Amino acid sequence: MKFNWNKKYNTIAVYAFIVVSLSIIFYNIISKLESFAGKLNEIMGIFQPFIIGFIIAYLLNFILKFYENKVFKMRGLNKVKKSSIRGLGILLSYITAGIILYVFMQFVLPQLIESVRGLINDIPRYVKELTIIVDTQLQEMNINQEYMTLISEKFAEITNWVIQLLTNVLPIVGNAVMSIASSIWNIVLGIIISIYLLMDKEKFFGLGKKVVTSLFNEKHTTIILDLANRTNLTFGKFIGGKIVDSLIIGILTFIILAIFKMPYVLLISVIIGITNIIPFFGPFIGAIPSAIIILFVSPIQALWFLVIVLVIQQVDGNIIGPKILGDSIGISAFWILFAILVAGKLFGLVGMIIGVPMFAVIYSIIKDIIESRLRYKGLPTETNNYMD
């Protein structure tokens, strides 16, 4: 029996059934949130190798495209069999990633661990010296004894918090390493899966397009494929650009701090470089703990460090960032801040990183819908026309 969608009450009944069903599902999820979260984690654990494989393939695809679109074309390999070029490109991509990882593990990681260990060992001496300096300055200022006591108590609280924070760094790093080590088999499987994904990525794209085309009409198929392409471009430009930008900022920070003979140069440069991946808040997240570390050694150097970071971030925000990222986001600073706060609250650090491109895609969809409806009504689409 053919269902007549044109009948008003049939359509209302179907939509009502869908709304009620979704409401029941939503209520069950909320009322049993812990159980649902446990099941979700269990499912995520099952699919962990595939998730790891997809992430590895997505990141290495930037390197693979560089070899295929830049290096191989310059070498005149256009006439070589496509599968052979793809295999060579994947091999070189993994070799490149392996070299980067080896250099980090061999030269950077040991110095990072040594810097953290040395910092923790030197904390008591730094605290003692800083406390003497603060007490001396307070006594010279002839502050009322009541205020002196209050300031000393607050300073002691801040010092204890910093000590606790820095003391917990090594256990956190150790737990992260142990977590990675315990997932070593999933990582191996993820690497194997990523090879298959990269080898036949066009086939997987074609398969997805085939499924969408079979399920939806031409109009909806075009919309879905356009959305998928837009999402891929937004995430690709943002993540790839941010990684390159953060690497440049990390190296630039290392050079400048080395020139100014700052303490813990490598450790602080890595912190600044990694946190720079987070839009808007990244520089502050990296600069504050780094300034506290330097503060224990020299308050003057800590002040100079903040000035240096401010200058570097101005250079990054006005010169380096726009050159690399361009207009890959397409949203204002307000919406960037909104996306980071909301996604960070929901998904933590990962949300702060992917929240901006994710919101940019959602923003572009809503913008297209609104402008399409305005054009249908014969109204202007520019926001300036509605600012009276």
pLDDT 10s digits, 108-161: 777 777 776 766 676 677 667 667 776 676 666 666 666 666 766 776 676 666
> Which tokens is 17 given?
């059934």
For the residues 274-298, what does the mean pLDDT come to? 80
> Measuring CA to CA, how many Å separate 156 from each of 150, 216, 322, 327?
10, 65, 43, 46
- How high is the mean pLDDT of the chain? 78
The two tokens of residue 188 are 């191996």
Entry field: residues in the chain: 388
Quick one: pLDDT band at residue 187, thresholds 50, 70, 90?
Answer: confident
Calculate ∠ Cα 187-33-13, nearest 5°.
110
Question: 224 and 216 in contact (C-beta within 8 Å)?
Answer: yes
> Of the candidates 57, 99, 64, 100, which has an alpha carbon nearest to the alpha carbon of residue 85?
64
At 77, the pLDDT band (50, 70, 90 cuts) reads: low
What pLDDT does 259 receive? Answer: 92
Query: Picking from 175-189, 206-220, 262-276, which range would have the lowest pLDDT averaged per residue?
Result: 175-189
Residue appearing with tokens 């960070």: 344
Q: In the predicted model, is pLDDT for residue 205 greater than 80? A: yes
Most confident of 87-96, 178-187, 273-282, 316-325: 87-96
Q: Which residue would you say has higher pLDDT here, 131 or 173?
A: 131
91's tokens: 């091999």
Query: Does the global pTM surpass 0.75?
Result: no
Cβ atoms of 364 and 372 within 8 Å: the answer is no
**DSSP count for the chain of H helices, then E strands:** 16, 0
Q: Which of 309, 284, 274 is nearest to 104 (CA)?
A: 274
Domain boundaries, the chain: 1-46
Q: Residue 211 corresponds to which tokens in the numbers above?
A: 């499924």
- pLDDT-derived band at 256, boundaries 50, 70, 90: very high
Q: Is the pLDDT of residue 248 over 60?
A: yes
Locate tokens 């839009």: which residue?
Answer: 279
d(CA 193, CA 277): 26
> What pLDDT score does 178 carry?
62
- pLDDT recorded at residue 34: 65
Task: Provide the 10 A C-beta neighbour count for residue 255.
Answer: 12
